[in-house]
A and B are shown apart, each in its own frame.
Chain A
Amino acid sequence: MTTTVPESQPRSAHQHGVRRIVLPVAVVLTVLFCLAPILWQLLTSFKTDAAIAEIPNVYFPRPDQLTLDQYQKLFERRPFFNYIFNSFLVSLASTVLALGIGAPAAYALARLKLQGERIMLAAVLIVTLFPPILLFLGLLDIVRYFNLGNNYLSLIIPYTAINLPLTILVMRSFFQQLPKDLEDAARVDGYSTPRMLLDIVLPMTIPALATTGILTFISAWNEFIFALTFITREDLKTVPVAGAQLGGASPFEIPFGPIAAATVLGTIPLVLLVLFFQRRIVQGLTSGAVKG
């Protein structure tokens, strides 16, 4: 040990120096690349109309080019909180449903020796390969048939269905890596099956549920085609549709400012959600159950 350390020091110090520069630069570039459109929207939503229209583009607005007018205009023209509420309700309901149906199904697929298990899994997988846009004409007919147009259910049901396969596949692989010994130990301890699922399995499953739940929630929140087609009543619209349909004072004006404000407001709930659940998603909750 002591003989090798001085030898390797210069080299590792050099490597360290390179890392110290390259790593942050790479991080900054990657983050910029990913966030640029969002940052642009954020910036636009705080600029005055004049600054938005100005050529060349204003990247660094002067203080007199900054304003909250765009948000004010947005709320004057449209009941935007209403849209957020609709989106929230629909997304939450389909997330809860997808988890409530998908997790038990995944558990059964992972733990029970079911006949035709492979066929079921193949079917689930094939459904995920279907582009939803191919389904939507058929779905429109179904929605009409059941008279579900302009009803939250017309969104909640398809969103749940579309997200179920992913939920099942992800949760199944999670349950498969969950040590079976724990459930056996619980049964020897005297837990009945429902209590075992509730008291032992569920607490260990929360990180996986949070992760898949967030994915479902985001995909439901951002969905556009179904929401555009199945909902026409103004007070039932969701954020993406309402944002896209923001009109100007005249047909020839594109209201860039309010659209940017709508985008920002529509994204904030998702950001908050992910930040809130981040702590829950921390991996390694099962560590310590079995020898690590």
Chain B
Amino acid sequence: MDKKLELVDLRKQFNAKVVPVKNVSLSVGSGEFLTLLGPSGCGKSTILRLIAGLEQPTSGQVLINGKDVSRLSPGDRNIAMVFQSYALYPHMTVRENIASGLKLRKTPSGEIQTRIQDVTDFLGLHDLMDRKPGQLSGGQRQRVAVARTLVRRPDVFLLDEPLSNLDALLREHVRAELKQLFGTQNTPVVYVTHDQTEAMTLSTRVAVLNNGYLQQLDAPERIYMEPANRFVAGFIGSPQMNFLQVPCESRRAIVGNHPIPLPRGANMPTEITLGIRPEHVHLAQSDHEPALDGQVFLIENLGMHNLVSVRIQGQGEPITVRAIVGIEHRLAIDSTVRLAFPPESIHWFDVSTGDRIQTASDSTSVVSPSVTPTSVTS
């Protein structure tokens, strides 16, 4: 049977001021790996806890395999969860930790044995089975926590920042491992992180959250290529996208000396927000290219590239544009450069709402319908 998790208009209000989840709807199918991505405090963990049943929704429903489980206790929902702190029972051995959920469900002991055997084979935990969690390293604890969820063969896997307690090298390794591991499970996975690299590498789909609102729900490539609004555009991608608020005249945005035609989606604004990623800004090859003259004031070495910050004098305050430039260009501080913006790499956003304005290169259904219009903070 295909497994499925659906959230319907889910809302959680702790008190008058704290509403970490605001009418979120989404669905995750078998074999899908959905990541909830957003800054700290945006309500990711709360959504996960609502799915698990550790919190009760103020309104809305959680459906698992089409069945409303909103009123069921966590133990009756057949979900399994990896906690950020791993939450292994300190007084039990690894084996007991892994077996506890099955024993409580009165699984026959033969079945428990084979399932544990499978999982320990899978994760290579054999030598650790009789140890207590206190005798394990961080990485090992993490594996045990994952093993504890895998043996359960649940209807939904929930993971709350499972990598954030590992050091950087190990994190990269375990990330790849998790991807393979959950790829084989054919069960919906909901993964919470504030790390965009994790979200981009692991997920089949990413849900970007801010302030309790779902901002965009799309495949990782789409999130990067066609961010639904200014928040998503600024949150995804490192270094951050450049945003320029520029005046418009007769369907052209006035950027420096070369006006850029507005996208077809725009209807005669007086101002528009232009967004372009530093990796797409390049040094102008010729005088014909639309370009901005500016002065380099900061060069940060990223290894293969330099991240160059350029100050551009406009009519009002000087604006700063950051560009990724190959080290072969040997730029120096205070040198003058001409920065070109390839039109196909430009993102346009409405100044007041922050929503994306459709461009010719966008795929047909651009703005995800789940985006709430009032959601933008800048």
Report if A285-B87 is in contact (Cβ < 8 Å); known contacts: A187-B73, A188-B81, A291-B138.
no
Binds B, one of A73-81, A178-186, A263-271: A178-186
Q: Judge whether B141 is part of the interface by a CB distance below 8 angstroms.
A: yes
Contacts of A224 in B (CB 8 A): none
Contacts of A284 in B (CB 8 A): 134
Q: Judge whether A289 is part of the interface by a CB distance below 8 angstroms.
A: yes
Report if A191-B165 is in contact (Cβ < 8 Å); known contacts: A181-B85, A200-B89.
no
Which chain B residue has the least Cβ–Cβ distance from A181?
Answer: B87
The contact sample of 30 A-B pairs, CB cut-off 8 A, is A179-B85, A181-B84, A181-B86, A181-B87, A182-B87, A182-B89, A182-B90, A184-B49, A184-B52, A185-B89, A187-B75, A188-B53, A188-B74, A189-B75, A189-B100, A189-B101, A189-B148, A190-B105, A191-B75, A191-B104, A200-B89, A284-B134, A285-B91, A286-B90, A288-B88, A288-B134, A289-B85, A289-B89, A290-B87, A291-B86
Q: Is the CB of A187 within 8 A of B74?
A: yes
Q: Count how many chain B residues have C-beta atoms less than 8 Å from C-beta atoms of the other chain.
A: 33
Bound-complex Cα distance A185 to B100 (A): 11
Bound-complex Cα distance A203 to B80 (A): 23
Q: Judge whether A204 is part of the interface by a CB distance below 8 angstroms.
A: yes
Residue from the list B73, B76, B81, B135 in contact with A185, Cβ < 8 A: B81
Q: Is the CB of B87 within 8 A of A184?
A: yes
Q: Is the CB of A288 within 8 A of B135?
A: yes
Least distance between B52 CB and chain A CB atoms (Å): 6
Residues of A that sit less than 8 Å from B by CB: 179, 181-182, 184-192, 195, 200, 203-204, 284-292
Q: Is the CB of A290 within 8 A of B86?
A: yes
Q: Judge whether B123 is part of the interface by a CB distance below 8 angstroms.
A: no
Bound-complex Cα distance A187 to B89 (A): 12
Residues of B that sit less than 8 Å from A by CB: 49, 52-54, 73-76, 79-81, 83-91, 100-101, 104-105, 132-136, 138, 141, 148, 165
Bound-complex Cα distance A184 to B54 (A): 7
Which chain B residue has the least Cβ–Cβ distance from A287?
Answer: B134
Least distance between A270 CB and chain B CB atoms (Å): 28
Least distance between B110 CB and chain A CB atoms (Å): 20
Contacts of A195 in B (CB 8 A): 104
Identify the 6 closest CB pairs spanning chains A and B, nearest first: A288-B134, A190-B75, A288-B133, A290-B85, A185-B87, A181-B87
Which chain A residue has the least Cβ–Cβ distance from B89?
Answer: A200
Contacts of B136 in A (CB 8 A): 288
Contacts of B53 in A (CB 8 A): 187-188
Query: 15 more A-B contacts (CB under 8 A) besides A191-B75, A291-B138?
Result: A181-B87, A182-B89, A184-B74, A184-B87, A187-B54, A188-B54, A188-B79, A189-B100, A190-B74, A190-B104, A200-B89, A288-B90, A288-B132, A289-B90, A292-B134
Interface centre among A188, A191, A200, A288 (most CB of B within 10 A): A188
Which chain B residue has the least Cβ–Cβ distance from A186?
Answer: B89
Contacts of A286 in B (CB 8 A): 90
Bound-complex Cα distance A112 to B179 (A): 38
Bound-complex Cα distance A190 to B107 (A): 12
Least distance between A279 CB and chain B CB atoms (Å): 15
Bound-complex Cα distance A181 to B271 (A): 49
Q: Is the CB of B75 within 8 A of A188?
A: yes
Least distance between A175 CB and chain B CB atoms (Å): 15
Least distance between B255 CB and chain A CB atoms (Å): 49
Least distance between B56 CB and chain A CB atoms (Å): 13
Q: Is the CB of B54 within 8 A of A203?
A: no
Q: Is the CB of B85 within 8 A of A188?
A: no
Which chain B residue has the least Cβ–Cβ distance from A203?
Answer: B91
Bound-complex Cα distance A5 to B140 (A): 35
Which chain A residue has the least Cβ–Cβ distance from B52?
Answer: A188
Q: Is the CB of A184 within 8 A of B83?
A: yes
Contacts of A191 in B (CB 8 A): 75, 104
Q: Is the CB of B165 within 8 A of A291?
A: yes
Contacts of A190 in B (CB 8 A): 74-76, 101, 104-105
Residue from the list A186, A189, A204 in contact with B90, Cβ < 8 A: A204
Least distance between B305 CB and chain A CB atoms (Å): 35
Contacts of B134 in A (CB 8 A): 284, 287-288, 292
Least distance between B104 CB and chain A CB atoms (Å): 4
Bound-complex Cα distance A21 to B260 (A): 82
Bound-complex Cα distance A189 to B79 (A): 8
Contacts of A181 in B (CB 8 A): 83-87
